[in-house]
Amino acid sequence: MSTYQLPALPYAYEALEPHFDKETMQIHHQRHHQAYVDNLNKALEGNDAAGKSLEELLKGISQYGPAVRNNGGGHYNHSLFWNILSATPKTAPTGKLAEEINSVFGSLDNLKAEIKKAGLGQFGSGWAWLFVKFNGTIAVTATPNQDNPLMDTQVTSRGFPILGVDVWEHAYYLKYQNKRADYLDAFWSVLDWSAVEKNYEAAIARVS
């Protein structure tokens, strides 16, 4: 029986400074994400779901208890989050994703404003997302706790996440304190659009 593992970051903990500080990145990855992985493995002990991929698990998450939902979501969400960040990011989307953003939102700035609005509007802990709906269009949503658009518990906003920003306080409080808006603004300085484009292409291939 396989168990889930904490993925290594594709950059050093200090690589995203001054936007994301080293201490926050270490604690966020080594303690918070590790705890989600450990608790997910514990929750799945003796369960026939233990052999499923993380995505399969989340797509049928309504079948499982809160420990699997919270920790499975936490593992998936953070794994996506780390991989869309970079010390040398592509600063704007191009190609089909850029066209889709302009078509749906009017401009990249409008999309950024919608994601910031979603992040600020999420009361308490949660995430703001750009995702590909199962009909192939893109949309922005927010989810509480460690939920995400993959989960079958989502009533309306379901699909494949391609960009997610963590708005739990542990993601930003050491540097930004209660200034979530400043953290959300800083996020764009380390977001790598090339990674988001790859996520978009993979999602489109699956819904087409």
Flag whether 14 is in a domain.
no
- pLDDT per position as a tens digit, 136-146: 999 999 999 99
Flag whether 15 is in a domain.
no
Question: Is-contact 149 163, C-beta < 8 A?
Answer: no
| Count: domains in the chain | 1
- pLDDT per position as a tens digit, 92-119: 999 999 999 999 999 999 999 999 999 9
pTM: 0.96
Nearest to 58 by CA among 185, 143, 183: 143
Flag whether 7 is in a domain.
no
What was the pLDDT predicted at 93? 98
- Which residues, in sequence order, are CB contacts of 40 under 8 Å at separation 6+? 4, 67, 68, 71, 72, 74, 75
How is the chain split among helix, strand and coil, in percent rounded to 5? Answer: 50, 10, 35
The torsion angle over the Cα atoms of residues 105, 109, 112 and 114, rounded to 10 degrees, is -50
Question: Is-contact 149 141, C-beta < 8 A?
Answer: yes
Instruction: Report CA-CA distances (Å) from 73 to 14, 61, 108, 203.
Output: 26, 9, 28, 18
Flag whether 3 is in a domain.
no
CATH number of 77's domain:
3.55.40.20
Question: Is-contact 118 142, C-beta < 8 A?
Answer: yes
